[in-house]
């Protein structure tokens, strides 16, 4: 049973609220994190949250997760579309991982339609604003 989960925010997500508010909304990462922790608690899940703009730091965190967590939610930001290294890390750790995106990546630029991490994730949730993370928490709690 899943009890402890890790949420990873990738590059540029620290600027939520300021960054392209027409696409990502006007609320910041602190509010998102507060809501994630509350939603996880409601589902009986303990949750740690990590943000980094660096590929290697995200990979190190994924590696460390295998001793500590039973589920991972990852918004890999633009790394989603080209980081084979993050894909390999997800694949290596064998912990169920859910890919999330705030925006609908299929309704935007061509390059965003491809996710190199999707095939090694349990599933993907895109386009529901911050709700994409809350839906991923629900999905993990059902596993």
Whether 24 sits among the annotated catalytic residues: the reply is yes
Best CA proximity match to 15, nearest among 33, 1, 29, 31: 29
Under the binding rule (CB under 6 A), the answer on residue 77 touching ligand DQA is: yes
User: Which member of 32, 49, 89, 105 binds ligand DQA (CB under 6 A)?
Assistant: 105
Stretch that binds ligand DQA, among 31-39, 48-56, 61-69, 70-78 (CB under 6 A): 70-78
Under the binding rule (CB under 6 A), the answer on residue 124 touching ligand DQA is: no
Q: Where are the alpha helices (DSSP H) in the chain?
A: 21-24, 29-42, 55-68, 84-93, 131-141
Best CA proximity match to 33, nearest among 53, 19, 13, 18: 13
Of residues 9, 79, 101, 134, which has the active-site annotation?
101
| Catalytic (active-site) positions | 24, 101
List contacts with ligand DQA (CB under 6 A).
12, 75, 77-78, 80, 101-103, 105, 112
């Amino acid at each position: 049973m899943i009890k402890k989960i890790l949420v990873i925010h990738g590059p540029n997500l620290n600027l939520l609220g300021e960054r392209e508010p027409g696409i990502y909304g006007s609320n910041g990462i602190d509010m998102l994190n507060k809501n994630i922790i509350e939603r996880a608690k409601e589902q009986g899940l303990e949750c740690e949250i990590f943000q980094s703009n660096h590929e290697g730091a995200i990979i190190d965190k994924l590696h460390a997760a295998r001793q500590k967590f039973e589920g991972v939610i990852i918004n890999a930001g633009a790394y989603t579309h080209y980081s084979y290294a993050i894909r390999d890390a997800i694949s290596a750790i064998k912990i169920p991982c859910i890919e999330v995106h705030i925006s609908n990546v299929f309704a935007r630029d061509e390059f965003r339609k491809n996710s190199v991490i999707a095939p090694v994730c349990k599933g993907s949730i895109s386009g529901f604003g911050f709700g994409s993370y809350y839906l991923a928490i629900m999905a993990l709690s059902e596993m």
